[in-house]
Amino acid sequence: MFAYRLDELGLVQEYVVNSAVAGVNLTGLIVPRNKIWTILGAAYYPDAAETRLIEFSKLTRAGIRLPLRVPQSIALSTAIRLPLLTEGNQLILLPGEALYVTRDAATAGSIMILRAQFVESDLPTMKYFDPQKLLSQDRRRRGFARASILGRAASALGAHSGEGGEPGGEPGGGGGEGGGIPV
């Protein structure tokens, strides 16, 4: 499932953030209010060759770090980068969240670099309606027409007159509630 519509793929964005010199952590850009970012790809690398223990995390709105990958010790340089996502996977960041990268130590004078590609979508402001529930409520409101296929099926399965939409009949009938077939 994607958070974006296919036409939004024409609006792919990218960002690059750098840490301070000899920094050991780096926070990516924070997702704006009422937006969703679907990260299509992200990579981390230092500006000097080094072998370090690296961890990718998601920084939540509450400031909690949730690991996205198992920390790994890896040799990286400007030419060798560590991808966050592989095999076409995607990551959804909600409003107020950001990517977060840490390393165990810094090589003297090196900086951390994080690049990301993402699609920004609007957070839906409407209420979700379950189509099956709406169909069921609509059938109950109208009742089944006695001459319809569904009305005949309800009769054959022993539904009382309330299921067919006819008033009166058995006790509890006439309201469109109950019946022999599930709706």
Q: What's the whole-number average pLDDT of the chain?
A: 82
Give yes or no for residue 70 having a pLDDT over 70.
yes
pLDDT at 164 over 50: no
pLDDT of residue 151: 58
- Specify the pLDDT at position 72: 95
pLDDT (tens digit, 9 = 90+) per residue, 24-35?
A: 999 999 999 999
CATH 2.60.120 in the chain, residue ranges: 6-122
The confidence band for 6, taking pLDDT boundaries of 50, 70 and 90, is: confident
Q: pLDDT band at 148, cuts 50/70/90?
A: low
| Residues 6-122, CATH architecture | Sandwich (2.60)
Q: Using one digit for the tens of pLDDT, what is the confidence trace for 82-128?
A: 999 998 899 999 999 999 999 999 988 899 999 999 999 988 776 66
pLDDT at 69 over 50: yes
What does the chain look like in DSSP terms, one character per residue? --SS-GGGGGG-EEEEEE--TT-SEEE-PPPPTTEEEEEEEEEEEESS-EEEEEEEEEE-TTS-EEESS--EEEEE-SSS-EES--TT--EEE-TT-EEEEEES---TT--EEEEEEEEEEEPP-SPP--HHHHHHHHHHHH---TTSHHHHHHHHTT--HHHHT-SSSSTTTTSS---SS--
Q: pTM of the prediction?
A: 0.67
pLDDT for residue 125:
72
